[in-house]
């Protein structure tokens, strides 16, 4: 059978990292995959070396919009690791609240877009509507919907006002019933089972080999979570459990993310209950020479920052590693052997961000355009519709 090459990308508006995927297909089957990144490279590591330790917090916040708390969190922990030092208790609680709020909004964002690519626009609209409530919570706590600017080496920049806490808790309580409805609707839907189960499997061995992180590894049965393995913030003081499933397919990745949202809600509630009084900033005077490493569990996996100081007010080296850098290469293991209509959801499943449906085009070996991005989403939706019909759920 003749081989065709499908370029996907490089643009897709929903992702932090525009990439160009090149799929080689035989008929419907994908036999090879290659990726070219770099459309988003802004040289942040170099930029950060020209900024003071305080200013770098704002630079790393702009690495990724969805993880705009994870990067500052890992960065300030790296700076604090140079001493090493501990931050005040209240700051730890506030940091945990913001980080978990971000996890809920990030997972909702993923859930919505995953639904969109499966042709379930209802899921998309519901999830994003719920997400607005979480963004409201973040706006009340930090003053901004994204880019919270809450973190600073030694503590947090901004305190939580006591009068805001009941408002925030009421908002969180209000989304729980809808979230439960959404969970049951998604996890019990036979059509989604048929579309997602056994698709894009990442085996446990491969997850370890690629050093996959976060929900991508936990769905493959690798119990790996920085919050448990190397507790920071107040994760060792609150009660929560790590969600681990064993199949490694797209469905399990969805299950892990959905169930994690409920854990996050639990953590946020416990943090508000136990929020102690006290200072929010340890007040760092100067950074000693040395090197520090900070790693935290972002919604997508471990975010890693390494900072080296020579005793001046600027870092001489600042290394950033986002979770997608480790998760993205797992495509090599998951997408080969699957069909084109499932490519969109497999690419979406690790939450790298999203497959670039807008700019997707399938060409045969003579270069004639067969499908564009919309046609591929249509293909995916048609498959969902067919399954629905076959199951008598039109």
Partner 1 sequence: MTREQVLRDLGNRFGDDILDIFVKSPKRVFIKIKPRAIAWVGPYIFRELGARFNIATGTDTPDGIEILYHFTLEDINLMLNIRVLLNRDNPVITSLGKEIEAVNWIEREMKELLGITFEGHPDPRRLLLPDNWPDGVYPLRQDYSEWDETAIRTRGV
Partner 2 sequence: MSLKLKALLKSPWVFHLSTGSCNNCDIETLDCLTPRFDVERFGILLAGSIKHADVLLVSGSCNRMSAEKLKTLYEQVPKPCLVVGIGTCTGSRGIFIDSYNCPVPLDKIIPVDAYIPGCPPKPEAIIAGVVKLIEKVGKG
Q: State which residue, 167 or 208, has the beta carbon closest to partner 1.
A: 208
Instruction: Identify residues 365-384 at the interface with partner 2 (CB under 8 A).
Output: 372-374, 377
Does 45 sit near partner 1 (CB under 8 A)? yes
CB of 306 to partner 1, least distance (A): 5
Give every strand in the sheet of 290-298, ordered side by side: 290-298, 301-309, 315-321
Q: Which is nearer to partner 1, 40 or 364 (CB)?
A: 40
220 touches 202 (CB < 8 A): yes
Query: Which lies closer to partner 1 via its Cβ, residue 39 or residue 371?
Result: 39
Closest-CA residue to 187 (of 174, 178, 196, 200): 196
CB 66 within 8 A of CB 110: no
* Contact residue for partner 1 among 84, 143, 166, 289 (CB under 8 A): 84
- For the chain, strand residue ranges (E) read 3-8, 20-26, 29-36, 151-152, 155-156, 290-298, 301-309, 315-321, 361-363, 369-372
> Which CB, 94 or 226, lies closer to partner 1?
226
Under the binding rule (CB under 8 A), the answer on residue 143 touching partner 2 is no
Q: Which of 9, 10, 105 is nearest to 66 (CA)?
A: 105
Of positions 23, 66, 222, 355, contacts partner 2 by CB under 8 A = 66
Q: Are 138 and 131 in contact (CB under 8 A)?
A: no
Per CB under 8 A, contacts with partner 1 among 162-221 are: 208-211
Looking at the DSSP bridge assignments, the partners of residue 52 are 314
- Least distance in Å: CB of 249 to partner 2? 26
Token duo for residue 204:
């446990």
- Alpha-carbon gap, residue 156 to 159, rounded angstroms: 7
How many of the chain's residues bind partner 2 (CB under 8 A)? 44
Residue 62 near partner 2 by CB under 8 A: yes
Only segment of 96-104, 159-167, 321-329, 380-388 that touches partner 1 (CB under 8 A): 321-329
Interface with partner 2, residue 248, by CB under 8 A: no
Whole-angstrom CA distances from 51 to 57, 59, 122, 308, 314 are: 9, 9, 45, 13, 6
Dihedral pair phi/psi, residue 315, rounded to 5°: -75, 145
Long-range contacts (CB closer than 8 Å, 24 or more residues apart) made by 31-38:
31/3, 31/336, 31/337, 32/336, 33/331, 33/332, 33/335, 33/336, 35/328, 35/329, 35/331, 36/9, 36/10, 37/328
Two tokens, residue 287:
């950074």
Beta carbon of residue 132, minimum distance to partner 2 (angstroms, whole number): 5
Q: Which is nearer to partner 2, 47 or 208 (CB)?
A: 47
Interface stretch with partner 2, choices 41-49, 245-253, 340-348, 386-394 (CB under 8 A): 41-49
Does residue 300 bind partner 1 (CB under 8 A)? no
Q: Which stretch binds partner 1 (CB under 8 A): 134-142, 161-169, 319-327, 349-357?
A: 319-327
Binder among 6, 63, 307, 379 for partner 2 (CB under 8 A): 63
Rounded-to-integer distance, Cα 156 and Cα 138, Å:
15
**Residue 321 interacting with partner 2 (CB under 8 A):** no
Residue ranges binding partner 1 (CB under 8 A): 37-38, 41, 43, 45-46, 81, 84, 208-211, 224, 229-230, 291, 293, 295, 302, 304, 306, 308, 316-317, 319, 321, 325-326, 328-329, 332
Residue ranges binding partner 2 (CB under 8 A): 10-16, 18, 38-44, 46-47, 50, 58-59, 62-66, 68, 109, 112, 124-125, 128-129, 132, 145-147, 353, 357-359, 372-374, 377
């Amino acid at each position: 059978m003749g081989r065709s090459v499908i370029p996907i990308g490089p643009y897709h508006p929903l992702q932090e990292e525009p990439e160009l995927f090149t799929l080689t297909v035989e008929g419907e089957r994908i036999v090879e995959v290659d990726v070219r990144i770099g459309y988003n490279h802004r040289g942040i590591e170099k930029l950060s070396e020209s900024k003071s330790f305080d200013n770098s917090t704002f630079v790393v916040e702009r690495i990724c919009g969805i993880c705009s708390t994870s990067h500052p969190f890992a960065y300030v922990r790296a700076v604090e690791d140079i001493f090493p030092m501990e931050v005040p208790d209240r700051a730890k609680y506030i940091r945990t609240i913001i980080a978990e709020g971000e996890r809920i909004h990030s997972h909702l964002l993923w859930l919505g877009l995953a639904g969109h690519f499966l042709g379930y626009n209802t899921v998309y609209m519901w999830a994003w509507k719920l997400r607005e409530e979480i963004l409201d919570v973040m706006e009340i706590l930090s003053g901004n919907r994204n880019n919270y600017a809450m973190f600073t080496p030694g503590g947090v920049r901004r305190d939580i006002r006591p009068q805001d806490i009941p408002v925030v808790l009421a908002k969180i309580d209000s989304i729980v019933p809808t979230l439960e409805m959404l969970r049951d609707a998604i996890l019990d839907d036979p059509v989604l089972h048929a579309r997602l189960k056994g698709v894009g499997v990442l085996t446990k061995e491969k997850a370890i080999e690629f050093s996959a992180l976060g929900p991508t590894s936990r769905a493959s049965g690798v119990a790996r979570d920085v919050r448990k393995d190397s507790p920071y913030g107040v994760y060792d003081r609150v009660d929560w459990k790590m969600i681990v499933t064993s199949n490694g397919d797209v469905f399990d990745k969805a299950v892990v993310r959905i169930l994690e949202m409920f854990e996050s809600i639990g953590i946020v509630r416990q943090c508000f209950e136990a929020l102690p009084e006290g200072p929010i900033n340890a007040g760092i005077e100067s950074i000693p020479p040395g090197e520090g490493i900070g790693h935290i569990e972002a919604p997508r996996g471990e975010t890693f920052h390494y900072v080296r100081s020579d005793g001046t007010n600027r870092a001489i080296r600042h290394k950033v590693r986002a979770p997608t850098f480790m998760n993205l290469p797992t495509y090599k293991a998951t997408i080969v052997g699957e069909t084109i209509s499932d490519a969109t959801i497999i690419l979406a499943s690790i939450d790298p961000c999203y497959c670039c449906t807008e700019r997707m085009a399938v060409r045969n070996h003579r270069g004639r355009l067969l499908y564009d991005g919309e046609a591929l989403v249509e293909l995916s939706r048609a498959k969902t519709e067919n399954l629905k019909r076959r199951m008598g759920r039109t």
